[in-house]
Amino acid sequence: DIQMTQSPSSLSASVGDRVTITCRASQSISNFLTWYQQKPGKAPKLLIYSASSLQSGVPSRFSGSGSGTDFTLTISSLQPEDYATYYCQQSYRTPRTFGQGTKLEIK
């Protein structure tokens, strides 16, 4: 199975900060990388697909980049509603696997 490793596992940041979350795959996955946001008690929500394509309706402060094994999710200016847990997920090989999550908390 392809292992997905996110860093950091948790992060404290202030409103207005620029935040970057990293996801590393255990082997090359081309650009078959997706990012999700999950708030407590809610279902995950699609943010970014194909490593850098923004899902319709998602604010433009979210962006994704990377290819191969190394990927990043960037929030350009953190808003109060962005405090959540973020997951990356690869679709290159079955089983589709997720990173362990990055919990973004208020500083």
List interacting residues with another protein (CB under 8 A): 31-32, 34, 36, 38, 42-46, 49-50, 55, 87, 89, 91-92, 94-101
What is d(CA 68, CA 49) in angstroms, rounded to the nearest whole number? 14
Query: Cβ distance 85 to 101 under 8 Å?
Result: yes
Residue whose structure tokens are 């999550």? 101
| Shortest separation between residue 74's beta carbon and another protein, angstroms | 19
Nearer to another protein, 78 or 86 (CB): 86
The neighbouring-strand residues paired with 24 are: 5, 70
Q: Min. distance of Cβ 86 from another protein in angstroms?
A: 11
Minimum distance of another protein from residue 18's CB (angstroms): 25
Do 73 and 85 meet the contact criterion of CB atoms below 8 Å apart?
A: no
Nearer CB in complex with another protein: 27/50: 50
